[in-house]
Amino acid sequence: MQTSLVLTIEDIKKLATECSLDVVGVTSADSFDDVRQIYLERYAKGYFGEMRWITPERINLGCSPQDMLPGARSILVFAYSYLRDSNVPNENDGVIRGRVARYALGEDYHYFLKEKIELFLDKLKVITGKDFASRISVDSGPVIDRAVAARAGVGWYGKNTNILIPGYGSWVLLGTALVDIDLPLSSHIRKSCGSCTRCISACPTGALVAPGVLDSRRCISYLTIELKGPIPRDLRPLIGDWIFGCDICQEVCPVNIKGKKPNHPEFSDLPGWGHRPDLVSLMRMTEDEFRNKFRRSPVKRTKRRGLLRNVAVALGNSGDRRAVPVLVEALSDHEPLVRGHAAWALGRLGGSEAKYALESRLQIEEDSYVREEIQLALDEIEV
């Protein structure tokens, strides 16, 4: 059984605040047997899609703290809010705009959140006088951070699968640290979603297949970030104007509407980016421009070809034929993935200019995937 050191949970919270971490909780290093079962069942149903790093072995490891850090006694979980006042552009300025998940507006959190947790642990070593062992994870290791957060009691599992933290909602990034010393445990909150089902009804692709159960293969975040190849054609119209991630199930959540806005500086918009970026400019971005713009951003994960694939889909969904010229240019892009989605978008927007461009490209296109996209677009186009 765990025994508390001289530290109290209030001391730990104070230390977290000193390190500019918004929320901290502590749970035991017991295994997560219930979570293991649930995740293995979801894996068997294919709900993790092409996220090939999620394997039964990794799920087992992530639910076994002793295997991740021999002698582990406690697990700390930290939450860092990315909510801030956003610069909303004038929506009537004639620019065709996309939409970006809020966490992706600024710097890549993997780096700075780990640094904050390292600072916290250094200070904890000084306070306890112990040079304890630790293992930090920020969306990188096998640790299932949401399970840790729920068991530590800092929040509850929402029906949208996010952890909802009183005062902050789910607009938070999570990080964890396994340690091999006993720490005082945090107390549980007694809250739940109750009868609310807003997120389930609001999801345009029906990705929340049951309360708290996400089929990633239909999730817009997965489709625009994790999926590396073509987006299934039947889901493209449902993606709307999202080009990197999606916040719909968070935006409709009543808990989130009341979330604090700490305005942490790391989440300030990158130049030429933001919550509602200009799609036509993005569609013309070169590889060098992509690398320079997103060097310190989570957006680099999709690479240029993934982002432009998403931009093409959003332009196709815009219903705005002013997007046709830039999509015609994209039919000559060096990436087949971009050419294929540009073809789909032209077919969706329709018009004689789009049809002529598709027919012309079909005469010289050599890639079989792109040829198929062009042919399907021509089959459906309205002029």
Cite the active site residues.
139
User: Minimum distance between the CB of residue 12 and ligand SF4, rounded to whole angstroms?
Assistant: 27
Residue 119 vs 252, nearer CB to ligand SF4: 252
DSSP helix/strand/coil, 51: coil
Q: How far is Cα 108 from Cα 117, in angstroms, rounded to an integer?
A: 15
- For residue 227, which of 210, 204, 207, 211 has the smallest C-alpha distance? 207
Residue 198 vs 303, nearer CB to ligand SF4: 198
Interaction site with ligand SF4 (CB under 6 A): 158-160, 193, 196-199, 252-255
Residue 158 vs 347, nearer CB to ligand SF4: 158
User: Minimum distance between the CB of residue 208 and ligand SF4, rounded to whole angstroms?
Assistant: 8
User: Minimum distance between the CB of residue 248 and ligand SF4, rounded to whole angstroms?
Assistant: 10
Half-sphere exposure at residue 229, Cβ-oriented, CA atoms within 13 angstroms: 8
- For residue 32, which of 66, 56, 76, 80 has the smallest C-alpha distance? 66
Radius of gyration of the chain (CA): 23
358 in Cβ contact with 378 (< 8 Å): yes
Look at the alpha carbons of 58, 60, 64, 69 in this order and tell me if their dihedral is positive or negative: negative
DSSP string, 303-341: HHHHHHHHHHHHHHHHT-GGGHHHHHHHTT-S-HHHHHH
Q: How far is Cα 36 from Cα 277, in angstroms, rounded to an integer?
A: 40
Residue 255 vs 279, nearer CB to ligand SF4: 255
- For residue 150, which of 135, 138, 165, 133 has the smallest C-alpha distance? 165
User: Minimum distance between the CB of residue 139 and ligand SF4, rounded to whole angstroms?
Assistant: 20
Residue 235 vs 255, nearer CB to ligand SF4: 255
Strand pairing class (163-164; 172-179):
unpaired
User: Minimum distance between the CB of residue 272 and ligand SF4, rounded to whole angstroms?
Assistant: 32
Q: How far is Cα 83 from Cα 324, in angstroms, rounded to an integer?
A: 35
User: Minimum distance between the CB of residue 104 and ligand SF4, rounded to whole angstroms?
Assistant: 21
216 in Cβ contact with 246 (< 8 Å): no
Residue bearing tokens 């080009």: 243
Residue 61 vs 196, nearer CB to ligand SF4: 196
